[in-house]
Amino acid sequence: MNFNINKLTDKLRNMRDLSDAELAALIDAQDCDYLHKTADAVRRERYGIDVYTRGLIEFTNYCKNNCYYCGLRKDNTSLERYRLTKEQILECVHTGYTLGFRTWVLQGGEDMYYSDEYICEIVSALKAAHPDCAVTLSIGEKSYESYEAYRRAGADRYLLRHETADDTHYRSLHPDSMQSENRRRCLQDLKRLGYQVGSGFMVGSPHQTLENLVADLRFLQELDPDMIGIGPFLPHADTPFGGEEKGSLSRCLNLIAILRLMFPYALIPATTALGTIHPLGREMGLKAGANVVMPNLSPKGVRELYTLYDNKICTGEEAAECRSCLDKRVKGVGYRLVADIGNVKR
């Protein structure tokens, strides 16, 4: 069926929903200036020109899992592995605080070296050092009890992308040891425990269809997360998907805009993957409705070891360099980086 993309854009803005066929047409559309501009207008209504920053601390590149797409997968034996201590993490946080950050994302592979007790110790230490800040964890699938313990220790937010809402597609991205039902259970548990939850997916992961992407949007409607992180799939040479095509920048931008129109309140980052696929990818993401950036606060010495995909940006820069680089980039496209905890505006 032939759809008028501008009319679909207006309808999505007004209704916050479309039929599956209409959503597919919008995801797949070319030259979507009006879609992106409309998403930007909706973002400005809710958030003005503010762009929130989250300081990203990639504290371990060990992982017990073997996702076919990710360079940190257990079977990638060519990767040098590292772990940060609580003291090193606190040092990153102190540097970040002086640079104006008020929220941190502790991200890593699923690394059993960090027991629940140790994670709780780290979270409590961060909250004690900076009670005015929010702590976000992104450390994968855990039990209800573990999530509960982190929450008690002071964790405020959790990022766990659902990756794909389609079971068959999920099976083609992960070995049998990983189950999409468990990931969905985790997201429900996190919501029950009162975390501000972030989910999302890669755009253009191998075998992904337009129908899969529509299912991802439907899944997000059900989950109703506060944060939605998407970015293009990018291949990593030392993974089973090393020879696969990367995701499409324009499809990713369309999806950011669609997400803004469906979830006007959402915190949507312009991701590092977007900045890797195109030198101005993050700026384009902001102009299409994104309102968060996540500069890297990890120590310079370990950054190039957190290689989810090839050619990742910001591996040679200090935290202060990334902060001021992003400041300029954000200003350059007409927005303002804010030192704020950056809560969702429902």
Q: Taking CB under 6 A as the rule, which mask of x and - marks residues 309-328 in contact with ligand FES?
A: -----x--x---xx--xx--
Select the residue interacting with ligand SAM from 138, 164, 196, 254 (CB under 6 A): 138
Smallest distance from ligand FES to CB 330, Å: 10
Q: Among ligand SAM, ligand SF4, ligand FES, none, what does residue 322 contact (CB within 5–8 Å per kind)?
A: ligand FES
Q: Least distance from C-beta 308 to ligand SF4, angstroms?
A: 6
Give min distance, CB of 294 to ligand FES, in A: 10
d(C-alpha 333, C-alpha 346), whole Å:
25
Q: Does 142 bind ligand SF4 (CB under 6 A)?
A: no
Strand order in 292-293's β-sheet? 292-293, 50-53, 336-338
What mask, x for binding ligand FES by CB under 6 A, covers residues 227 to 266? ----------------------------------------
User: Which of 198, 192, 200 is closest to 147 using CA atoms?
Assistant: 192
Work out what residue 73 binds among ligand FES, ligand SAM, ligand SF4, none; the CB cut-off runs from 5 to 8 Å by kind: ligand SF4
Sign, CA dihedral 95-92-186-143, equals negative
Residues 1-20: x where in contact with ligand FES by CB under 6 A, - otherwise, as a string: --------------------
Neighbour count for residue 98 (Cβ, 10 Å): 9
Q: Nearest distance from residue 202's CB to ligand SF4, in Å?
A: 10
Site of interaction with ligand FES (CB under 6 A): 295, 314, 317, 321-322, 325-326
Binding site for ligand SAM (CB under 6 A): 69-70, 72, 107, 109-110, 138, 140, 160-161, 163, 202, 231, 233-234, 236, 273, 308-309
